[in-house]
Amino acid sequence: MKCEEITQERWLAYLDGRAGSVERRRVEEHAAGCAACRARAEEFRKLWGALDEVPAIEPSLGFDASVRQRVAAEPRRRWFGWLAPWPRVALSAAVVAALAIIVIVKMPSRHARPMGTNAVVHQEDFNAIKDLGVLENYDVVTNLDALSELPSAAENQPQQPQ
- Report the candidate in 25, 42, 31 with the shortest Cα–Cα distance to residue 3: 31
Binder to other proteins among 59, 87, 133, 151 (CB under 8 A)?
59
Q: Does the protein bind other proteins through residue 64 (CB under 8 A)? A: yes
Kindly indicate which of the ranges 37-45, 95-103, 113-121, 146-154 contains the residues binding other proteins, using the contact rule CB under 8 A. 37-45
Kindly indicate which of the ranges 62-70, 89-97, 119-127, 142-150 contains the residues binding other proteins, using the contact rule CB under 8 A. 62-70
Q: Does the protein bind other proteins through residue 28 (CB under 8 A)? A: no
The secondary structure of the chain as a DSSP string is: --GGGS-HHHHHHHHHT-S-HHHHHHHHHHHHT-HHHHHHHHHHHHHHHHGGGSPP----TTHHHHHHHHHHTSPPP-GGGGGTT-HHHHHHHHHHHHHHHHHHHHSPPSSPPPTTHHHHHHHHHHHHHHTHHHHHTHHHHH-THHHHTSPPHHHHSPPPP-
Q: Does the protein bind other proteins through residue 4 (CB under 8 A)? A: no
Q: Which is nearer to other proteins, 26 or 40 (CB)?
A: 40
Binder to other proteins among 4, 21, 22, 70 (CB under 8 A)?
70
Q: Which is nearer to other proteins, 85 or 158 (CB)?
A: 85
Pick out residues in 92-151 that bind other proteins (CB under 8 A).
none
Please, what is the minimum distance in Å from the beta carbon of residue 67 to other proteins?
5
Q: Does the protein bind other proteins through residue 90 (CB under 8 A)? A: no
The gap from C-alpha 162 to its chain's centroid, in whole angstroms, comes to: 105
How far apart CA 74 and CA 92 sit, in angstroms, is 27
What is the contact surface with other proteins in residues (CB under 8 A)? 8-9, 11-12, 15-16, 39-40, 42-44, 46-48, 50-51, 53-60, 63-64, 66-68, 70-71, 74, 85
